[in-house]
Structure 1
Amino acid sequence: MRLTRITLPSIDVAACLAFFRDVMQLRTLDHTVQVGWTRIDIVPAFDVTGSVHLAFNIPRNRFAAACAWVAERAMLLRDPMGEERFHLDGAWQSDSVYFAGPHGSVLELIARHPLALDGPGGAPFHGREIACVSELGLPTADVPGLVRSLVTRMGIAPFGEISDVFTPMGTHEGLLIVVDRDRLWFPELRQPPGANGVSATLDGVLPESRVVDGLGWTLTGAVPDDMAWLAQSRRMVAY
């Protein structure tokens, strides 16, 4: 599964675009940010969006360089013990570092070792090495109910361990982080999740499927008209 298009509301579109362009060194055009095969459309927010979570895949051999890069450019987020780098085993097999994004968002760089994604060794990290948006946080009042809807209506399978408050759905290339609306975002455990007004188009799910949550976000399966653009986007980053 891939997150091919995300609509992200912002109370300050210009500042949000500037963060992605100047801090993360990503390509921007008008109100759009291009991250590999993921397109992020920044739009004016007409209500409170809340704390959005996005994760970005990076080359598995570039984690240390990416940590040094982001530490110089953004505020790192640490857990209550002061840790700022996180390794996960099990289904994840990953290394992550979290940092503060625009409007209270919780952003993450993640190196997923099962993916054959490697970058140039020895050189300083650059934002152009970021492969895609690979995670989108989705708060809900009913995690088990939403999980059932994603399975039956969109054909998305759970990823790793599941619970009544936290269930990732999808693959290493694209994950929906389904969380209870009262579960605070890792690693600081301070901010409740938000995604009001957020929408996403998914490739690799049932075409034209759709799920809308009462907390204000929408998911849509890619429709046939999207396929030409998706084919081009797949060529932008190849594992």
Structure 2
Amino acid sequence: MRIREVELLTDSIEAVKSFYHGLLEQPILTETEEVISLKAGESVLTFTRSHLDESPYYHFAFNIPERKCEQALSWLQHKGIAVYSVNGQDIQYHETWHSDSIYFCDAVGNILEFIARHDLKDEDTGPFTAADVKNISEIGLPARDVIALSDTLRGEYALQSYKSAGPTFSPLGDEEGLLILAAVGRIWFPSDKAAKLFPITVDISEGSTSREFIVADGYVIRS
């Protein structure tokens, strides 16, 4: 599964532009006072200005080359971007997913991840650059009822559970693209932020088929 585009809310288009274009060096595709879209490898990352009373935040991840996690860490640190450290380690190895991850926050409170998946072989070991952001590989979808949302998405889009599934955490898709269903209140690793309900628009593709859907209040409201 490929994540073609995600559309998220933000309190500050200006801060988003400064972080993703200025620091992460992702090209701007379109920009207005209310919306900015950036190219993130093969995906599009779009932010729309929020008019909610509460500041929205999300968790999402970018695939990077399998052998470039150390280089990516140095690249982020050189730009002054603080990363989460767990037990003194800045790179987290996940045995179940056979991957290495670096976690950090953007300028508006989103929890980001660079993930190097060892099942997606890549021989490139050169210096890390902005072009090594391959695609949006994960988007977190908080839900009041994870199983019900999983059943809806699996039924409508023929998605498969990935690795493991349970009542509070259920990934759908594959290494190229994952929808991370998480129960409201579950803490996004390795932050102290709980999964909360904010509207998300996701455009996914499987083979030649492309579908867009909106998740709001933990339910698919349009597809």
- 1:4/1:201 contact within 8 Å kept: yes
Query: Which segment is superposed worse, 168-177 or 41-50?
Result: 41-50
- 1:196/1:217 contact within 8 Å kept: no
**RMSD, matched Cα:** 2.1
Once residues 100 and 200 of structure 1 are traced to their aligned partners in structure 2, the CA distance between those partners, rounded to angstroms, is: 21
- 1:153/1:209 contact within 8 Å kept: no
Query: Which segment is superposed worse, 49-58 or 201-210?
Result: 201-210
2:180 maps to 1:177 = yes
Q: Share of identical aligned residues, percent?
A: 25
Residue 190 of structure 2 aligns to a residue in which SS? Answer: coil
Query: Which segment is superposed worse, 108-117 or 135-144?
Result: 108-117
Against the structure 1 CA distance between its residues 146 and 176, is the aligned structure 2 distance closer, same or farther, given a 3 Å change threshold?
same
TM, length-normalised to structure 2? 0.88
- 2:143/2:219 contact within 8 Å kept: no
User: Quick one: which of 133, 149, 157 aligns to 2:136?
Assistant: 133
Residue 186 of structure 2 aligns to a residue in which SS? Answer: coil
Unaligned runs of 5+ in 2: none
Unaligned runs of 5+ in 1: 221-239
Please list the CA deviations of residues 186-233 of structure 1 after superposition, one character each: whole Å capped at 9, or x if unmatched: 013x1012351221101018654746442477675xxxxxxxxxxxxx
2:124 maps to 1:114 = no
Counterpart of 2:118, as a letter, is H
Query: Which segment is superposed worse, 205-214 or 147-156?
Result: 205-214
Residue 108 of structure 2 aligns to a residue in which SS? Answer: helix
Against the structure 1 CA distance between its residues 184 and 100, is the aligned structure 2 distance closer, same or farther, given a 3 Å change threshold?
same
- 1:62/1:118 contact within 8 Å kept: no
Residue 156 of structure 1 aligns to a residue in which SS? Answer: coil
Please list the CA deviations of residues 60-95 of structure 1 after superposition, one character each: whole Å capped at 9, or x if unmatched: 11111011111222111233x3432111123x1110
Against the structure 1 CA distance between its residues 174 and 219, is the aligned structure 2 distance closer, same or farther, given a 3 Å change threshold?
farther
Against the structure 1 CA distance between its residues 191 and 117, is the aligned structure 2 distance closer, same or farther, given a 3 Å change threshold?
same
Counterpart of 1:43, as a letter, is T
Once residues 222 and 113 of structure 2 are traced to their aligned partners in structure 1, the CA distance between those partners, rounded to angstroms, is: 21
Q: Which residue of 2 aligns with 1:8?
A: 8
Against the structure 1 CA distance between its residues 209 and 25, is the aligned structure 2 distance closer, same or farther, given a 3 Å change threshold?
closer
TM, length-normalised to structure 1? 0.82
Against the structure 1 CA distance between its residues 95 and 218, is the aligned structure 2 distance closer, same or farther, given a 3 Å change threshold?
farther
Residue 157 of structure 1 aligns to a residue in which SS? Answer: coil
Residue 103 of structure 1 aligns to a residue in which SS? Answer: coil
Q: Which has the higher helix share?
A: 1
Q: Which residue of 2 aligns with 1:20?
A: 20
- 2:141/2:181 contact within 8 Å kept: yes
Residue 136 of structure 2 aligns to a residue in which SS? Answer: strand
Residue 46 of structure 2 aligns to a residue in which SS? Answer: strand
Once residues 7 and 154 of structure 1 are traced to their aligned partners in structure 2, the CA distance between those partners, rounded to angstroms, is: 19
Query: Which segment is superposed worse, 172-181 or 143-152?
Result: 143-152
Once residues 51 and 220 of structure 2 are traced to their aligned partners in structure 1, the CA distance between those partners, rounded to angstroms, is: 14
